[in-house]
Structure 1
Amino acid sequence: MVTFKANRSDPELVPPALATPREMKALSDVDTQPALRFYATGVEFFRHHPIVDDGHDQPENQAKVVKDAVAKALTYFYPVAGRIRELPGGELVVECTGEGVVFVEADADVWLDEFGNPIMPPYPCVDEFLCDPGDTSVIIGKPLVFMQVTRLKCGGFVIGTYSCHNIVDAFGHTQFLKAIVDIARGDDHPTVLPVWGRELMAARNPPNVSLLQHLTPSKLSPDHPVEPNSAAQHVSSSTDHMVGDYFFFGPREIAALQHHAQLQYSSTAFEVITAAMWKCHTVALGYVPDQNKKACLLMTMNARGKWKRDPPLPQGFYGNGFVYLVV
């Protein structure tokens, strides 16, 4: 497996390229969940595409191009250049200060092809593509994005980020990166303009509960562990023996799962993978039906797109746009 060390520059703050509003922005009730108070990582790989001028391949400083594009993108995503504050009572808000995001340039003595084709996680030496964000569970008063652009020997580069999950989910993070790419390639503005709109994911005030069930996502959250002797103990609760791992499901793997299950009816790839993982999960935890214990499956559902939400989330919404589903 390839090993390398990145040679990093000192971190700097990249503010918006133009003056932006100074204001306080409310976050949604989904944004401010305690379970989202952390920085999520992202690593994106880019191949070298030569710039040809007069028949000669012209080198390009990708880090500078990305840095300039970040500054311009922040004029549209200006709350991302601010800081999270905690008000009396624990409410989180974004103060749009225009201070900017952390940016680090780096070089690594490695070729992109050394990571395999296709490039699959877990990536070797992935920490070398990420700058230091400090304690990733502390989000108050810190930059909301920490970005490192690492140039590779082949001319390709890697963008590694820590993004505050209270500000963006995976789709929002991708939208922000896509805006940077749009501008870096010469567009005047992002293809999809950002929309704040956090009130669309806020709880009703006063609350209007139409259905109350005994099982809620909070009971499965690490912040609300189930008591060992509780009658509501869940076999699927986290244990100290669990580890994270990666599994690749391509067309061949999905076809094998469908064949093994001998399904009577057609099913989506999501349904097949979820059923397989759920079965393996309960078997590994020793679930026995007559134990009078609950085995729960928790997943997230994207509130964008096909979900029949009224009103629907606009295309440019980049906040946390998901709900929990529990079975």
Structure 2
Amino acid sequence: MKAVAEIARGANEPSITPVWSRELLSARHPPRITCTHREYEEVLHMKRAIISPNDLQERSFFFGPPEIATIRRRFIPHHLGPYTTFEIITACLWRCRTIALQMDPNEEARMMVTVNARAKFKPPIPVGCPAAVTTAGKLYGNPISCAL
């Protein structure tokens, strides 16, 4: 998109040359499934009705270095290893959202995050999964470190 915008503004060539290395994304031959991709599963049964937009309130939360340091110090045991700020904020929001929605403890609580992975592509494409799934009860009854 950046390249298209640059050319639309009159550039002779984009600052980032398009890469067509589609072979990086080719399936194995023959294709084989090596892991479960929970992010593509359809959620068939929700025990609680989806919340109406009229019942939601929008708020902004700012997590600066002092807030992240407090969360690390108070809620994450040192022996669990280093976590990124992104992982800590995501775990906190996942747990707090699940509690706020008052989900049934046996219901699946999913956290899916879409991120720009461009910086990660320097062949090979890293292995990973953009979805985490557990039960609401495990998020309720355990510390934030469980969500991490």
TM-score scaled to structure 1, two decimals?
0.30
Gaps of 5+ in 2: 133-148
Task: Please name the residue that 1:176 is paired with.
Answer: 4
Task: Please name the residue that 2:91 is paired with.
Answer: 275
Q: Is the 8 A contact 1:217 1:298 kept in 2?
A: yes
Q: Is the 8 A contact 1:300 1:325 kept in 2?
A: yes
Q: Aligned pair 1:209/2:33, yes or no?
A: yes
Matched residues in 1 for 2:62 and 2:3: separation? 25
Matched residues in 2 for 1:245 and 1:199: separation? 43
Letter in 2 for 1:227: H
Letter in 1 for 2:44: V
Indicate the SS of the match to 1:296. Answer: strand
Between 276-285 and 197-206, report the one with greater CA deviation. 197-206
Against the structure 1 CA distance between its residues 304 and 325, is the aligned structure 2 distance closer, same or farther, given a 3 Å change threshold? same
Higher-strand-fraction structure: 1
TM-score scaled to structure 2, two decimals?
0.57
Q: Is the 8 A contact 1:258 1:272 kept in 2?
A: no
Residue number among 105, 114, 120 corresponding to 1:306 in the alignment? 120
Letter in 1 for 2:38: T
- The C-alpha deviation readout for 1:217-257, integer Å capped at 9, x for no partner, is 122xxxx34134xxxx7x7xx82425595735353xx5224
Matched residues in 2 for 1:208 and 1:244: separation? 44
Against the structure 1 CA distance between its residues 190 and 174, is the aligned structure 2 distance closer, same or farther, given a 3 Å change threshold? closer
Task: Please name the residue that 1:258 is paired with.
Answer: 69
Residue number among 59, 62, 68 corresponding to 1:249 in the alignment? 62
Matched residues in 2 for 1:210 and 1:299: separation? 21
Task: Please name the residue that 1:293 is paired with.
Answer: 107
Size of the aligned set, in residue pairs, is 124
- The C-alpha deviation readout for 1:134-172, integer Å capped at 9, x for no partner, is xxxxxxxxxxxxxxxxxxxxxxxxxxxxxxxxxxxxxxx
Higher-helix-fraction structure: 2
Structure number with greater Rg is: 1
Quote the offset at 1:278 in angstroms: 0.9
Quote the offset at 1:274 in angstroms: 0.6
- The C-alpha deviation readout for 1:16-75, integer Å capped at 9, x for no partner, is xxxxxxxxxxxxxxxxxxxxxxxxxxxxxxxxxxxxxxxxxxxxxxxxxxxxxxxxxxxx
Q: Which one scores higher on RCO, CA 8 angstroms, separation ≥ 6? A: 2
Indicate the SS of the match to 2:118. Answer: coil
Q: Is the 8 A contact 1:296 1:326 kept in 2?
A: yes
